[in-house]
Each structure stands twice: as C-alpha cells, then as structure tokens.
Amino acid sequence: MQDQRTGALLRKLRQERGWTQRQVAEQLGVSTQAVSKWERDQGIPDVGLLPHLAEIFGVSVEGLLDGGLNPAAPDGGNMKRLQFYVCPDCGNILTSSSGGQLSCCGRKLEPLRAVPADAEHAATVQEVETDWYVTFRHPMEKGHFIRFAACVAPDRLLLVRLYPEQGSEFRIPQLRGGAKLYLCCSRHGLFRAELP
C-alpha cells in the first residue's frame, strides 16, 4: 500500500459513508492519528488490518493495495455481455452485465465461458402456450447435474435454479428478440443451447 493513491482512496471511502476519522479509528481499534496519517500517505495500515479495513468499506483487499477500485464501464442497459459466476464453495450464482470483480466465500470468481452445447448438454425446447418447455438428457445426480438454466434477452434475464435428483425439465416464459438459452453443468461449465 505504498501507492500515493491509497491515502486518497481511504479518505474517499470514509467520506462516502459520512464517517469521521475517529469513527474509522474506533471500528479498527487504532488511533485517530493513525487514520489521519494513512489518508495523508504518511504511513500505511498494518497488513493485519487490511481485511477488516476492506470489510468496513465494502471493498476488496486488492483494491486497497492497488489504491483504486477500477470501476466497470457503464453497460448502457444492454445484456449482451452478461457473464455468469458460480461460487465453488457455496454454489451461489452471480451475474454481471459489465464485468467487474465479483467474489464469494472469500474467493475472487472468474466468469464462466459459454461454449456451444455438445450432445450431453443439449436441450430440446418446445413452445407450449406462451412458455418454452425445456427438456434435457443430462444426469441430475449429486455431484453431476445441471446447476441452473438461464434465458437472456437484450433487456432481461430469467434464471431457473435446478437441483440434483429433480426432473430434467423446466418451463419458462418465452422471451423474444434474440434470446439465448444457457445451461450450467456442475462438472463441465456453461453451455449455449438453441432456442426456436
């Protein structure tokens, strides 16, 4: 944390929350003078304080070390670049339409890369009234199952969470205008399936 931008970042984060230097110092168990020195780049926080400092400000330790948060570019309301993330520890499913740095359970997550569906991960889609009825032949066993299905249109996302030992079908409302269907296998990753 020797970058000149670190002090300015700490000051900015503190001011965004409307906190005084004393309030930050009390949360960290340090003196007000220590916080003042950090913000003026005349000292750096002890490495043991970094996780707590990152937690109270709601940022990553890496962001603090870099002295900047690298905001994602505005997406302009478009879902074309939607990315999916899955936590390997708890199974949380996260999405982002404009990149960024996502983490869960203390891990930095990497976006899943979608590939065209192979025979094992293919889906059959039928129109039923105003819905799509989606079936697939993939096993639905503990340790190897379709974790989620997602239908992405330019203006919305429909996500269906699937679980081991449930049926290998689901029904979702039809989305038009270039919608895409994705299936995520717990072992093999993300696949693009065909829609009618």
User: What are 31-69's pLDDT values in tens digits?
Assistant: 999 999 989 989 888 888 888 998 898 888 877 777 766
191 in helix, strand or coil? strand
Answer whether residue 109 is part of any domain: no
Q: Is the pLDDT of residue 2 over 50?
A: no
Cβ neighbours around 43 below 10 Å, total: 15
For residue 167, is it within any domain? yes
Q: What's this model's pTM, rounded to 2 decimal places?
A: 0.66
| CA 171 to centroid of chain Cα atoms | 25
Rounded Cα–Cα distance for residues 123 and 135 (Å): 6
Residue (of 142, 150, 192) closest to 175 by Cα position: 150
CATH at 146:
2.60.40.730
Task: Let me know if residue 143 belongs to a domain.
Answer: yes
Domains in the chain, number: 2
Residue 166 lies in a domain: yes
Query: Considering the domain boundaries, does residue 95 fall inside one?
Result: no
Mean per-residue pLDDT over the chain, rounded:
87
Of the pLDDT bands very low, low, confident and very high (cuts 50, 70, 90), residue 76 is: low
Structural domain that includes position 59: 5-66
The last residue of one of the domains, among 66, 81, 103, is 66
Q: Is residue 98 part of a domain?
A: no
Q: Within its chain, how far is the Cα of 46 from the centroid?
A: 29
